[in-house]
Every structure is written in C-alpha cells, then in structure tokens.
Amino acid sequence: MKSAAQTVADVASGASSANEELDRSLGAIRARNDELNVFLYVDEVGARRQADAVDEKVRRGEDPGVLAGVPIAIKDNLCQRGIPTTCSSRILEGWRPPYSATVIERLLAAGAVPVGKTNLDEFAMGSSTENSAFGPTKNPLDPTRVPGGSSGGSAASVAADMTPIALGSDTGGSIRQPAALCGVIGVKPTYGLVSRYGLIAFASSLDQIGPFAKDVRDAAILLEAIAGHDEMDSTSLPEPAPSLSAHVDDGVAGKRIGLVRDLVDGADDEVVDAVEGAAQVLRDAGATIVEMSIPEFRLGLSAYYILAPAEASSNLARYDGVRYGLRVDADDVTAMNEATRTAGFGDEVKRRIMLGTYALSAGYFDAYYGQALKVRTMMIDAFARAYRDVDLLLGATTPSVAFKLGSKVSDPMAMYLSDIFTIPTNLSGEAAVSVPFGTGEAGLPTAVQLLGPARSEARLFAAARILEIAEGR
C-alpha cells in the first residue's frame, strides 16, 4: 500500500480518488482479516460516505485536507458516534457512543477515512492482544506470533497493508511495543499533546493517543492532524499542534544522544546489536553518542503495576450493568453488579482491578500507592537530569522479537516484562518513538526506541528518519 503522503498527493491531484483508495483498503481487509483478526468492525457505509465527501471537495476545487482520502484504522477504545465500541470487552456489549472522540473529529476534518475499529487487549490491558474477548490478533509477518499489545490490531493493520496509518493508545508501551513487533513506526506523544476526550480510560494519568505508520513522515503528518489544545480535555496542553513534518529531514548533526544501558540490559543479543547499530548510524550522521546509566528506570515496572491498576480500579467502577453495556439480572442491585462484572470482564482485567483496589485500600495505600508515586517522581527527576546533558535518549523498545502466540499467557510476570523498556516514558509523561531497525530470530524485525523531553517530537522524528534511511526505507 502506498504511503499516506503519496495518497494525499494522488487524491488532491486527481490521479486517484478517496473511493479508489478505500477500495484498496477494504480489499486488503477482506483478504486477510479472517486469518489475522485485526478488525472487530468495518464501517464500510461510513467510510464510503467520508470518501464521497473528500472526492466532492476535490471536484469543487476545495482543500480536501492534509489526510485527504487516507484510510485509517481506529483502536476500539476510541469513541466514534454510532459505531460499536467495545474495548474488546463483553462488558460493553451493544454500546454505540452518542459522540466521537476529538481525534476522530479531527481526522474527519483532515479528510482521513476511518475504515473500522481494531482489536486490542481488553481495556488496553495487555502486551500481546491475546486478552481480547473476541480472540487474539495474529502478527501479519508471522501468524504464529503475537502482534504485541495492547494496540495490536492497529499495528497489524499497518503491517498488513490494510491501512497506511492507524491510531492506538499508549499507557505503558501499547503503541511502541506492538509497532516494534510488527515492524512499523509507533509514536507515544507528550502527555497532553493529543486530546484524550473520547478515549475510554484505562489509567488517566498515563494514557496517550498516538500514531502508527509505515514511515516517519506519515507519522508526523498524522500527529500534526490530531494534536493541539482541546477544551474538552482538562489535561490538554494549552497550545496549538506543533510543526512536525517540516522538520523530518532536519538530521541530528550537533545533537547529543544518550545510549541508555538500562534500556538495553536483559534484551536478546539481536536487540542489543540493533541498538548499537543505531547508535553508530546516528554517530555517522553527526550526533555525539554518550553512554549513560539511569538506574531509576529499573524501578519503572514495579511502580507502573501499582499506579496503572489503581487508576484502572477507579475508572472501571463505572461498568456496573446499570447505564449501558452488559447487564446480568439478579435478585438485587448488589448481586446484579457482581454478576455483570463477573461475566463482563476477562481474567486480566479482573486481576488488575483487584491489584489496584488492594493498593488503594486502607492500611496499604501509603505502603504501595504512596511509594509508587514517589518512584514516579524519582523517574521524572532522572529524566530531567539526563536531558540537561543530552538532547535525546536511545534504547531498545522490546527485549525480543515477536513471541509465539500462547507462550506467555499463563505467566503474567513474563508478559509484563515485555513493557520494561517502554514504561519509563509513560511515567514521566514525555515523548518517544519506536523505529524498526535490524532483524532478529526468524527474520522478524527488531526495533529501537528514541526518547525525548516534553514537546520534542520534531527532534525525535528527525532522528528516527536518519535510522529509517539507514534501513533503506
């Protein structure tokens, strides 16, 4: 499938049309969705309506938008008016939102064509998209392996050429980790850069919406389109969307980049080789590589698995069988609540609700939640010290290439370790991008992660582009 940038150029010039691009996307979905289980819902009617509107604007000589005619996949924890939205959970059975997320409204205004909702780990809780109530998604590069999670469906849509771009959400690595395992670009923006209005919450202080794309330029165009202040989100940064695509080719000459050993240690040999190879490419492009250790990063996993479940236990209390979604009748309200939540939530969601409720309970709050907040502050301070010395950081995105389906489902700790390198950025609220770089076991892609301070997306994209060029992409 052609890039988003090329699609926009073709549609705007009349060389193609939004409907032709949509036909290609729908054909690719029909060809592989039964095999891969990427899309939970395909909105062919709505997509056709949007494509018609874009083509009509072109016919009239009007500006069709910066994403004119580009098919895009939407993770199914983002509300779209009238479209089934499940979070891959039985608890939201039959629910169709009466409103759309701000990012959906901005995509439509930019001329993008949302084609449907993609599979995810239930309520975005997982690292493999095996926790979905509607079955696992498979990795398009090797269907015996996972696509990563929780945004595995969105990553797989781009990797399988079903859509050139997609949206996911990143709470502890849920964009970057599946991007790495599927061999695509994945961006976790600065917290507050993209509105969370209409994103069904997992952990509100950590969640952030971001792009998947085949290349850096497409990711930059998509992030520009969805970023910027939104009065509907109290955590939204009070500033317009940044200029990003204009800086993709800025390069890294004169930049200082920290190679963080704590974001490499414990990774498989081929992942270590990829990080060291990426460091050399950046050095050859004019950057100074500074080896450094940030030991606070090693505490991130423990802090995250207290803070995120604590927030989840509160956010998921609203699913009670009363107002919307699944309802299991019982003799009284308390019994109905219990029966509904027992039937509606999967094992991993229940596990995290229990962990979070325990961490917030009387007698344990200070020992667990309070301590985790202190670790988070330490993490923020550690990042700040690092960025006084360097412009960006470099490390691995994941410890390994995509693992086999079913290989970690019975061992939650092994699954949680998949996010060990991505979690620190969520705790600090800063920016990061995963870039495919190198190959590992069975020819599957490895990836590296570039991290930057808040609002450093333009710098990150410029560095990511250098690595992309080195890979011949």
pLDDT at 85 exceeding the cut of 90: yes
| Torsion on CA atoms 185, 188, 194, 196, rounded to nearest 10 | 110
Considering only CA atoms, which of 325, 315, 328 is closest in space to residue 97? 325
Note the Cα 281 to chain centre separation in Å: 26
- CB-based contacts of 389, cutoff 8 Å, min separation 6: 256, 258, 290, 292
Residue 173 structural domain: 4-246
pLDDT tens track for 191-214: 999 999 999 999 999 999 999 999
> Is 236 a domain residue?
yes
pLDDT tens track for 320-374: 999 899 999 999 999 999 999 999 999 999 999 999 999 999 989 999 999 999 9
**Cβ contact 208:191 at 8 Å:** yes
Q: Using 50, 70 and 90 to split pLDDT, how confident is the model at 472?
A: confident
Mean pLDDT of 450-465: 98
- Half-sphere exposure in the Cβ direction for 66 (13 Å, CA): 14
41, 180, 217, 282, 470 from 461: Cα distances, Å: 32, 16, 8, 13, 14
> Is 24 a domain residue?
yes
pLDDT at 1 exceeding the cut of 90: no
> Is 264 a domain residue?
no
State how far the Cα of 253 lies from the Cα of 250, in Å rounded to an integer.
8
Mean pLDDT rounded to a whole number for the chain? 97
Instruction: Label residue 228 left, alpha or beta by phi (over 0 means left) and psi (-120 to 50 means alpha).
Output: left
pTM: 0.97
pLDDT tens track for 412-439: 889 999 999 999 999 999 999 999 999 9
pLDDT tens track for 267-297: 999 999 999 999 999 999 999 999 999 999 9
In the chain, the number of structural domains is 1
> Is 263 a domain residue?
no
Please identify which residue in the block is written with the tokens 């439509």. Answer: 108
Structure tokens at 399: 């410890």
> Is 122 a domain residue?
yes
CATH number where 203 lies? 3.90.1300.10
| Burial class of residue 409 in the structure, from the number of CB atoms within 10 Å of its CB (0-12 exposed, 13-18 middle, 19+ buried) | middle
State how far the Cα of 249 lies from the Cα of 252, in Å rounded to an integer.
9
pLDDT value at position 242? 96
> Is 204 a domain residue?
yes
State how far the Cα of 403 lies from the Cα of 126, in Å rounded to an integer.
14
**Cβ contact 180:450 at 8 Å:** no
> Is 200 a domain residue?
yes
> Is 463 a domain residue?
no
57, 112, 344 from 13: Cα distances, Å: 12, 16, 49
**What residues are annotated to the active site?**
75, 150, 174
| Torsion on CA atoms 25, 31, 35, 38, rounded to nearest 10 | 10
